[in-house]
């Protein structure tokens, strides 16, 4: 195989995964349901009332059950993932194909995802900005206040980032708008994000 793993490696891993999924999604919920029904039946027989016999709760029967596997399914799976990542032919494309790299968390995106909120700072409200870099070096943050010109506030590589600028008028709230672009290797690139705005109070 391209990554150097045998068919036996793949077959045993798939068996591990099949059994663990069955365990989590079918067996464990059913056993918990049985336990709840058993407790309720015991309470009914012990202290309940009624003039008719009550049948024992029916336990779930699984047919067919997957072939049992040895303990340590998750440990073996995580170890296999590490071995895959260390293979000479491993790359991001392979990682995405195998589901090792989550599309949502690490794949690229046309524009940065970000949110802006306000919180109380030392003297006035400040703007808190959170964003997702995906595979990029960082983001460049631009802002404008009360409909004025756009200004570059800086290149940001860690989150959260705070806009602590003083208000244009000390006693008056102002509307701040933000837009981001990717920042890679010393240059801004890509399209601007949709604009987000907040009101900052004195």
Kind plus residue range of the DSSP H or E element containing 91: none
Axis-axis angle for helices 7-22, 73-86 (nearest 10): 140
Q: Which residue has the tokens 């943050």?
A: 141
Query: Considering only CA atoms, which of 106, 101, 92, 109 is closest in space to residue 189?
Result: 109
Domains and CATH numbers, the chain: 7-106 (no CATH), 113-200 (2.60.40.10)
For the segment 128-177, what is each residue's pLDDT rounded down to a tens digit? 999 988 889 999 999 999 999 999 999 999 989 999 999 999 889 999 99
Instruction: Report the pLDDT averaged over residues 5-33.
Output: 85
Q: Which position has the higher pLDDT, 7 or 115?
A: 115
For the segment 59-115, what is each residue's pLDDT rounded down to a tens digit? 777 777 888 999 998 888 888 888 887 777 777 777 777 777 654 444 567 888 899
DSSP 5-54: --HHHHHHHHHHHHHHHHIIIIIHHHHHHHHHHHHHHHHHHHH---SS--
Residues 175 and 145 sit within 8 Å (Cβ to Cβ): yes
Whole-number pLDDT of residue 101? 63
Whole-number pLDDT of residue 29? 85
| CB count in 10 Å sphere of residue 3 | 15
189: alpha, beta or left, given left = phi > 0 and alpha = psi -120 to 50?
beta
């Amino acid at each position: 195989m391209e990554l150097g793993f045998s068919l036996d490696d793949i077959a045993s891993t798939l068996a591990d995964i099949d059994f663990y999924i069955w365990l989590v999604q079918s067996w464990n919920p059913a056993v918990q349901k049985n336990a709840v029904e058993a407790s309720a039946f015991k309470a009914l027989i012990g202290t309940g009332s009624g003039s008719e016999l009550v049948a024992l709760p029916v336990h779930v029967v699984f047919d067919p059950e997957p072939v049992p596997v040895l303990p340590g399914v998750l440990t073996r799976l995580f170890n296999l993932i590490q071995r895959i990542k260390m293979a000479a032919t491993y790359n991001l494309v392979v990682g995405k194909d195998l589901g090792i790299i989550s599309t949502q968390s690490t794949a690229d995106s046309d524009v940065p995802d970000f949110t802006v909120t306000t919180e109380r700072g030392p003297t006035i409200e400040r703007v808190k900005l959170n964003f997702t870099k995906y595979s990029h070096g960082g983001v460049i943050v631009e802002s404008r206040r009360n409909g004025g010109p756009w200004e570059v506030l800086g290149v940001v590589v860690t989150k959260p980032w705070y806009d602590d600028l003083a208000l244009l008028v000390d006693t008056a709230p102002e509307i701040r708008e933000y837009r981001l672009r990717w920042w890679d290797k010393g240059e801004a690139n890509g399209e601007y994000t949709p604009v987000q705005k907040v009101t900052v109070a004195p």
